[in-house]
Structure 1
Amino acid sequence: MTESGETKHLIKINLPGGIVYPGDLLEILAIAKANGVKSIRFGNRQQLIFGVDRAMLADLAHAFFSADIAYEVDADEYPNITSSYVTEEILNASNWLREGVYKDILNAFNHRPKLKINIVDHAQNLIPFFTGHLNFVSSEVSNYWFLHIRYPRTNEMYSWPALVYSEDIPLISKLLEEKLLNPSSGNEIKIEGLALYQEFAKAHGLVGQAYQKPMQHSSFRLPYYEGFNKYGQHKLWLGIYRRHEEFPLELLAEIAETCVKTRIGQLYTTAWKSIIIKSIQPADRQFWSHLLDKHRLNVRHAANELNWQLEDVCQEALNLKLHLVKYFEEADLRTFGLCFAIKTKPRTGLFGSVIIRKKEAKTNEGETLYEVLHTKNFNPNNKEFVVFAPFNRKEDLAESLAKLCEYYYSLQLNFALPKANENLKQSEVLELHQVYQCKHCQTIFDDIYGDEFNNVKPGVKFEEIENYLCPLCEAPKEDFIKVDIQKNIA
């Protein structure tokens, strides 16, 4: 991580459920400031992140130890528990999932999970459903949850055979972690779900309930999560997003102090690296407006800038996003109903209906290549991907995304799609080219480019490679299938 041009060690502090109390935040900010930190970011899993110089690590460690604040340095061994608590009251219409249920579940965790855990309301669209390893999604039955297990380092999902009771979520999470992670080698293993469910129920007296009906994927519409908004009986909530992701310490300190002054008990982080303040009384809006004025905060960014997921503290992805958003704005491009993710590294668990994935291969001139994918039904909670444009230079990406948006809206309106070659220039000719594609994550192996991640040189045939693993999800060679893609040749 860089800040002021200097290399920093990355400090991560989990905020379980995406909740932080103003007093706790002020304590973290004071320690950070004393150790030379100027700004803080929030991560995709609702955690707090900042960089610190190596010379300050010892002082920082002492201060955090004295304050009993758990943290990690340049590591993510203990991922944050993500929850949709932030949406309660303001962005969903759940019949039974309220503040007390979230708090009871989060407070019952007596271990630091090493697996990613999501606890989300099925009726909301702000927090992703399936970016965790253990994904608890509320059902229509009060205090019961669907559980979808994503095996670590894969996109393979398993549905738990019964609904899980709220009070059992922490225990089941701990038991599953012990089964999924091999403590002796650190390697992940798969489980036989039904047998394990029966074992847990017998040994621990877990209260399960049969499905009344399977979980349904609702249509996705990312809500606008910024600015002042009314809800409930004469209350307001305020969302704050930062274009470059950084929140100056002075800004966050004043936000926390204003919460204390106006008797607001907690702040919330989102999966979009923003924060939300709820329970603002109309009479107190003046204090928050003054804060926005003082720090020159714009709280009405374009919707096509707010629907992006990027890897945490990744300047490369942020620069690419800003480049593409500028094109979207100039083209007045509609993106409502879509959300975008930029992946620059393998095995990045981001959330998006459209994925822009950096390829290991480059052009002959050394230019970076990207592939554009979309989920099968354009619902970002779906984990089945379709390759739309496999090879794009940076300058080609915006046009490919514009075409994909046209494709999406034509599907919404049941229009007939244009033929694949309608937009080709007269000097261009299509030919079919055979590649191999992973059936799990849709990653393509093309012998023209090879695979730098697996040290496979360009020109080496897929059939000649031994012990090949997918660079994204680590599926074996046998899980790749032959596919034909269209290529333009002059």
Structure 2
Amino acid sequence: MQDIQTIKINLPGGMVSPGRLREILTVAYDAKVQQVRFGSRQQLIFRITGEKVRFLERDFKKQKIRYEINGENYPNIVSSYCAEEVFRTGHWLHESEYHTVLDGFDYSPKLKINLSDSHQSFTPFFTGNLNFIASPEPHFWYLYIRPKQSNSLFRWRDLIYTNDIAALAHTLEPFLLEAIDEEITERYLYEKVSQSSSLITQPATQEVPLPDFGLPYYEGFNRYGQRSWLGIYRRNEEFSIPFLLDICSLCLETRVGEICTTPWKSLIIKGIEENDRPRWSQIMSRHNINVRHAANELAWQTEDHDDEGIEFKKYILQYFEKHDTRTFGLCFGVQTRDKSEVFGSILIRKRYTLRVGDLRLLPVYDLFHTDNFNPNSRTYFLFETGLMKNHLPNQVDRLCRKFNASRYGQQTSRIEIAESSAPALIHERYQCPHCLTVYDETFGDERAGIAPGVPFSALPDSYLCATCEAPKTEFAVVEIENLVV
């Protein structure tokens, strides 16, 4: 068996100049790499046999190209810049503002950092550890912190000035990496930062509303103003290097300054002049690149380099096509590996019911949806558990129908952190800290023989998480407030 190594190269903010991308791809192609992919954090990923790695590393060092081998120690900085201009135009957040933030990072972050326009739903808000979201106040950002390996989320009390984002991230990083979970609170971090840095801030006086999710159609040629943008999606997520090299060359010839990668593992090329459109079409034809796939096919996220997830996506899409399933307003995530993360309002998780040593046998699937079906929500509700693969498409279809039936009268979600003056009914649910499964006594746990209506306190001590089989003692309380109007 060949020794296969995975190479990851960060493209900060999902932006890369055509010249730099051409340098990276040329080194990879010289090392006999034929195909590359773009990850869900907007990075470049490819695989290479072990004997060629030393030649690749030698050439990368000559070109001063930073890379990782088989690692995720330095996650890429994700940004919503790929959506700017083509899907929406921010009140004050434009290309120069993104570049100002990214240019401030003179170090490689070990935390996941997201930069988001608050009015878009194309890129995720809260998949990072430090999530900066543009506020209504020009040049100031909200910060929502999610500690590593945690699903808790809290808001920084101040708005952060654009030029201070990198400095604050650098200051926060050691405290978030080194502190024990019980210490990581907003107050603890705020006191640490106040002692070690001076920042330009404003009080954060309101919460960030979560926009209704609507995935824009991000493929093909599309006009905006006097120019066009081109979105390129590949069904198998693979892009041939000769095709990408041709794209880089044409960008340089026609003065297109940047290529954008997206969290949907696709490319967006902005600023195509009308006179140049025929040349772009020629490249697409030369490499047999198809566009205008079905919208429901574009609304899926799988783990990076996960061929099983891609095949599973195709399997469910066949059912959707046969039954003409409506999926507008939804996106889907497929999770086949432990402790990975995908972005989706409907989430499919694979698990094994039998383990013998290192062998994992008898796979089943659990089906979840997020609160209000908004993929930016951090709360997951179990819809069905322990499904066999052949039963799953029908259950996903049922969940889509449930979503469509609930659309009438649905209102925009909001992150409720600040206290409300209205009286509240507090409903406690218990959540597994490992896989984020919520035990809801309203539904019980049919697989474990727990009937609806059984409170968590009445569960036997031997109860295990329906998804990852974590013990009952490790569940934590989650409070969900229903305001009385």
Would you call these one fold, judging by a TM-score over 0.5?
A: yes
1:55-454 → structure 2 map (5 Å cutoff): 55-182=51-178, 190-201=183-194, 203-232=196-225, 234-361=226-353, 367-413=362-408, 438=432, 441-442=436-437
2:447–2:466 contact (8 Å) kept in structure 1:
no
Q: TM-score, normalised by structure 1?
A: 0.84
Does the residue aligned with 1:214 lie in a helix, a strand or coil?
coil
Separation (CA, whole Å) in 1 of partners of 2:193 and 2:400: 46
Shift of 1:437: 5.6
In structure 2, what is the Cα distance between the partners aligned to 1:374 and 1:362? 25
My pick for the range that moved more, 325-334 or 220-229, is 325-334
| Aligned-partner Cα distance in 2 for 1:470–1:69 | 44
Deviates more, 1:6-15 or 1:27-36: 6-15
Question: TM-score of the superposition, structure 2-length normalised?
Answer: 0.85
CA shift for structure 1 position 164: 1.1
Give the CA deviation at 1:190.
4.0
Q: Which amino acid aligns with 2:87?
A: L
3-state SS of paired residue (1:86): helix
Question: Partner letter of residue 46 of structure 1?
Answer: Q
Match status 1:38 vs 2:31? no
Greater than 3 Å deviation, 4+ residue runs? 187-190, 443-450, 468-476
Alpha-carbon separation, structure 2, partners of 1:31 and 1:90: 31
- Give the C-alpha shift of residue 347 in structure 1: 2.0
Question: Are 2:381 and 2:438, in contact at CA under 8 Å, matched by a contact in 1?
Answer: no
Identity %: 40
- Note the C-alpha offset of 1:21: 0.8
1:240-284 superposed Cα distances (whole Å, 9 cap, x missing partner): 000000001111011111101111111000000000100000010
Is contact 1:135-1:148 (8 Å) kept? yes
**For residue 6 of structure 2, what is the aligned residue in structure 1?**
10
Is the Cα contact below 8 Å between 1:443 and 1:470 reproduced in 2?
no
Aligned to 1:488: none
What letter corresponds to residue 296 of structure 1 in structure 2? N
Provide the rounded CA distance (Å) in 1 between the counterparts of 2:308 and 2:133. 33
CA distance in structure 1 between the partners assigned to 2:91 and 2:23 by the alignment = 36
User: What does residue 422 of structure 1 align with?
Assistant: none
The amino acid across from 1:213 in the alignment is: Q
In structure 1, C-alpha distance between the alignment counterparts of 2:59 and 2:181, rounded to whole Å: 35
Residues in 1 aligned to 2:275 and 2:406: alpha-carbon distance in whole angstroms: 46
Residue 254 of structure 2 aligns to which amino acid in structure 1?
Answer: T
User: 1:33, CA displacement in angstroms?
Assistant: 1.0
**CA displacement, residues 109-167 of structure 1 (integer Å, 9 cap, x when unaligned):** 01110110001101111111011111001111101111111110011111111111111
Report the 3-state secondary structure (helix = DSSP H, G, I; strand = E; otherwise coil) of the residue aligned with 1:181. Answer: helix
* CA distance in structure 2 between the partners assigned to 1:337 and 1:447 by the alignment: 29
Cα distance in 2 for partners of 1:295, 1:142 equals 43
1:470 and 1:319 map into 2 onto residues whose CA distance is 25
Instruction: Give the Å deviation of 1:39.
Output: 0.4
Aligned residues: 442
**Contact 2:37/2:45 (<8 A) preserved:** yes
Runs (5+) with no aligned partner, structure 2: 411-428, 450-458, 479-485
User: 2 CA distance for matches of 1:375 and 1:256?
Assistant: 39
Distance in 2, Cα, partners of 1:206 & 1:120: 20
Taking the aligned partners of 1:322 and 1:303, their CA distance within structure 2 comes to: 13
Q: Deviations over 1:77-100 (max 9, x none)?
A: 000000011112111231000111
**CA deviation vs aligned residue, 1:401-447 (integer Å, no higher than 9, x gap):** 110011001101369xxxxxxxxxxxxxxxxxxx9862781167979
Aligned to 2:423: none
